[in-house]
Structure 1
Amino acid sequence: MKWNSLLILLLSTFLLSSCSNSPTGRYSQHKDSAPTRLPNESELRNAVPVHEPISPQGNRDYRVLGNDYEVMESAAGYVEEGYASWYGNKFHGHLTSNGEYYDMYSMSAAHTRLPLPTYVKVTNLRNDRSVVVRVNDRGPFHPERIIDLSFAAAYKLDMLDSGTAPVKIEAISLNTPMPAAQKTAAENRPDYLIQLVASSNPDRLSQLKHDLPPKFQEIATTEQSHGLHKLMLGPVSEDDSYDLLEQIRSSGYPEAFRVKAAQSQSDTPDAKHQN
């Protein structure tokens, strides 16, 4: 990695417009920018492919910027080469096309046509580095780009300096489809957490936890990873996570976001890019 260049890029909040250069009312930033810290080791782990039902949102054909996009019925056998870009601060914590919340430190991506979610392997053809990401968003709506990567995924591919990179995308097949009963069970599984705040000061998090309303205190937990302490709520089911997130955001934590529990149960944790 070119550390000096990366640090300069981060500290100066280098702009990369991965979706559109036009501002929209739902975003606080006019242009996209990089965060002020690099991903830690736990955030650089590949996404782990698992059987998931197709999302109820984001899987219909649609039209953006005068162009029509037909969503693929299946990702089986999908392989494509083209240019990748990445997206960061502007979209962090905002809804993705399938109704989740974008976390620029998660291994996720946006694609115009793949079913949501789809797991894909992305290889940087300049250096042969690869990463496995979970596609949960739509974009990039740029004729020369085929995938938008999260900040962490782009960092792992060593493409932050260049902003874009030639890549090969390969869909990861999970072979047999998930039976209907398992799909229902998966939807009701407590697989999601809500992250309220992260801090290097555990005493601050203890105080914040103590000040939470009783209904939130009952499901509040703290987690620690590489010196960073995080205040979380959950785990809860996917359906319940949406209601819980709206409740906690309206209770004084507007930056709270949803995260897969599996991402924060090892020694990790830590949420985008609806255009």
Structure 2
Amino acid sequence: MRATAEHLEPYRRWRMTYRSDGRDLAGFWLAPDADGPHPALVFNHGSIGFGPASLPGLQVLVALGYAVFAPIRRGHNDEPGPYWLDLVPAPWGSPEMGRQLVAALRGELVDVLAAVDWVAARPEVDAGRIVVAGSSFGGVLTVLALSEPAPLCAGISFAGPSMSWPDAPALQAELLAAAASGTAPLFLAQAFNDHSLQPTYAIGAELARHGRPHETRVYPAIGDDPMTGHGIFATGLDLWRVDVERFLARWV
């Protein structure tokens, strides 16, 4: 189900606005109570948008001492701009569909990088300690963002492109190229019953081939269906919490 503005209601008190590509877009700023400067984390939602299920995971990250910004990208949750699926009219699985999908994600990457700049400019943030993370399409954008000249010191991809990977060779190529060209440490997390584990295996192998610091974690199955496993950021807190805390303590 595609998320709407109504799904943002639980986050209302943290609402901010950031500017990207000529648009004012919503985002949500959750910061620790202690005085800064804080390390920060930009969390990127998945392909259906942002909703209440992500809140417990964000609160875990805040409890680790991170100021967390969750930007809404163009076209999601009734924000201005085209929704990605409207930019991918080609038959699913066709070569043209893969190219269209990459182009749509590249557009959304502009918003991610604008959100990073917004965070880096905040006085309560240590601009040298910014992490990018995300779930599903947000995990895809995490991998892509780390290949850009942005002030990012690490990344965490939950579930990545597991739903689209088998059908989009163009996206596979884009992500493998990003893995080869980036330098920041990357944490890849999936549940065993996600739609496909190939993204973690393939991207992890490419990171290893280029000597890039990384961790790949395939956790036990969550629930009885692939969608529950795919939602590991929300459904698998107790699985990834300790590993993510250790990863961040090492690299940030």
Q: TM-score, normalised by structure 1?
A: 0.27
Higher RCO (CA 8 Å, separation ≥ 6 residues): 1
Higher percent of residues as helix: 2
Higher percent of residues as strand: 1
Larger radius of gyration between Structure 1 and Structure 2 = 1
